[in-house]
Amino acid sequence: MIDVVILFFLLGLFAGLARSELKLPAELYDSLSIFLLLAIGLKGGEGLATQALGPLVPQLFAVIALGVLQTLLGFFLLARIGRLARADAASLAAHYGSVSVATFAVGANWLISRDIAFEPQMAIFLAVMEVPAILVGIVLARGLRKDTDWKGLAHESFLGKGVTLLLGGMAIGWIAGPEGLQPIKGLFHDLFKGALALFLLEMGLIVSRQTGEIRRRGAFIVGFGVAMPMLSACLGLACGALLGLSVGGMTLLATLAASASYIAVPATMRIAVPEANPALSLAAVLGVTFPLNILVGIPFYHQLALKLTGAMS
Amino acid sequence: MTELEKRTLLTIITEAALETRLMRDFTLHGIRGFTISDARGKGGRGVRDASWQEAANIRIEVICPRSQAESLLAHLQATYYRDYAMIGFLHDVEVLRPEKF
């Protein structure tokens, strides 16, 4: 049975493709993304309150390495095989090395609906994996030039909306603990699926607008948009297995690895690597990879995680 | 009514992503005041319908002496025109309280 939130995505996609008059206010999209980031952060923080934090440190380094590796792999494929210009290859690779909160939310929702448990630190992984790809992407595009405003870029990357709200929500959840969070559960827990559904309706509309660019670029964008998340998911599964995550955790780490950023990375790349074509990246990320992940990717990664754990035990 | 004096209105329409950088440029060029509003439209870089951040435009209006407006416009052309969706144009306007501009 297809998840109900996915039906909202399909409605948005259909409405957009059919050129319906439907348009959601930009403020709603912003508000919902703030809500989702906080809700994911709170849930992760709540889980972390019940366990020791020390063992997490090496895990964080592992997922940072995963993000860096994905960016380098993407750059190699795009520059060598795709023969893209250096700036375009670096920018697109950074998108795929980073992560998408919406994809994570759909993956978490998929697991929760099926009563499959996953580790609370997944929310930290989400926050941590957003940034390294951006920095690697900028170095790949520009080299280590002296005139790069690293301070400004670091400020923008580490204190952007996504990381601030995720880590902030996690801190609140961790300090308050399950009992302290009780009074706000009605909003952040019970309404999560409804908010995700509305958010995905807008995502469907956004995705539908990418069709023009996909038609212009054709097979290359589709090929990379499909192949890259599959490679990344395998790296994510391997990383999850090394860290000893549960099947749910491995599925979600594979989903994170396979996902590609369409908020934090495009905004930073636009400023840091202006010569890269933003339409190319968004068409691949939104037009191909995002729908692929939420429609077929997540169940597929779960199957792979089951096979891998079965083979290891 | 006190005397009206001539000033130049510089209007810039560009990507919302540039807002912070442009504010910094304005300060460096000695601009004392400006107005920013959200905008949407269509042009050489496709539809910019402001439906979400990546497709959002802003319109900036600056009133200042002609020479300052021209040097700022030249700076924008040299720095941003190649890679960003941006247009800028000048208008003659008449203002009260010219010392403000």
Confidence of residue B101 (pLDDT cuts 50, 70, 90): confident
pLDDT of residue A240: 96
User: What is the DSSP secondary-structure string of A238-255?
Assistant: HHHHHTT--HHHHHHHHH
Nearest to A278 by CA among A62, A52, A14, A88: A88
pLDDT in tens, A120-172: 999 889 988 988 999 999 999 987 776 777 777 777 777 878 888 988 999 99
Four-CA torsion A115, A121, A126, A129, nearest 10 degrees: -140
Q: What is the reported pLDDT for A163?
A: 85
Burial pattern A174-197, b for ≥16 Cβ within 10 A else e, equals bebeeeebeeeeeebeeebbebbb
What are B4's two structure tokens?
Answer: 């009206």
- DSSP helix/strand/coil, A50: coil
* Contact between B50 and A26 using a beta-carbon 8 Å cutoff: yes
Ranges of residues in chain A whose predicted pLDDT is under 50: none
Tell me if chain B has a CB within 8 Å of the CB of A55: no
DSSP line for chain B: -PPPEEEEEEEEEEEGGGHHHHHHHHHHTT----EEEEE-EEETTEEE--SSGGG-EEEEEEEE-HHHHHHHHHHHHHHHTTTS-EEEEEEEEEESSGGG-
Beta-carbon count within 10 A of A158 CB: 14
The reported pLDDT for the residue numbered B87 is 93
Give pTM, 2 decimals.
0.88
Give, rounded to a whole angstrom, the gap between the first and last alpha carbons of chain A: 30
CA A68, CA A65: separation in Å to the nearest integer?
A: 5
Q: Does A270 touch chain B (CB under 8 A)?
A: yes
ipTM exceeds 0.85: no
Distance CA A28, CA A214 (A): 27
Nearest to B54 among A205, A212, A282 (CB): A282
The residue of A271, A277, A282, A285 whose CB has the most chain B CBs within 10 angstroms, and thus the best one to mutate to test that interface, is A271
Both structure tokens of A227: 């192949």
What is the per-residue pLDDT across B27-81, written as a single tens digit (0 to 9) for each? 999 998 999 999 888 876 666 665 556 678 899 999 999 999 999 999 999 999 9
Query: Whole-angstrom Cα distance, residue A297 to residue A241?
Result: 18
- Give the pLDDT score at B48: 65
User: Is 60 exceeded by the pLDDT of residue B94?
Assistant: yes
Residue type, A311: A
Q: In this structure, what token pair is assigned to residue A261?
A: 């950023």
A227 closest CA partner among A9, A6, A69, A73: A73
Please give the pLDDT value at position A297.
Answer: 96
pLDDT at position B49 = 61
Contact, A139 vs A68, CB < 8 A? no
In sequence order, what are the beta bridge partners of B12?
B60, B88
Grouping H, G, I as helix, E, B as strand and the rest as coil, residue A72 is helix
Which of A 24-43 lie inside 8 A of B, CB atoms?
Answer: 24, 26, 29-30
Confidence at residue A69, expressed as pLDDT on a 0 to 100 scale: 97
Q: What is the largest CA-CA distance in chain B?
A: 45
Phi, psi of A2 (to 5 degrees): -75, 140
What is the reported pLDDT for B46? 63
Count of residues making up chain A: 313
Distance CA A134, CA A128 (A): 12
Distance of CA A62 to the CA centre of its chain: 17
Which residues from A are below 8 Å from B54, CB to CB? 262, 266-267, 278, 282
DSSP of A104-123: HHHHHHHHHHTT----TTHH
Nearest chain A residue to B38 by CA distance is A26
What is the model's pLDDT at position B50? Answer: 56
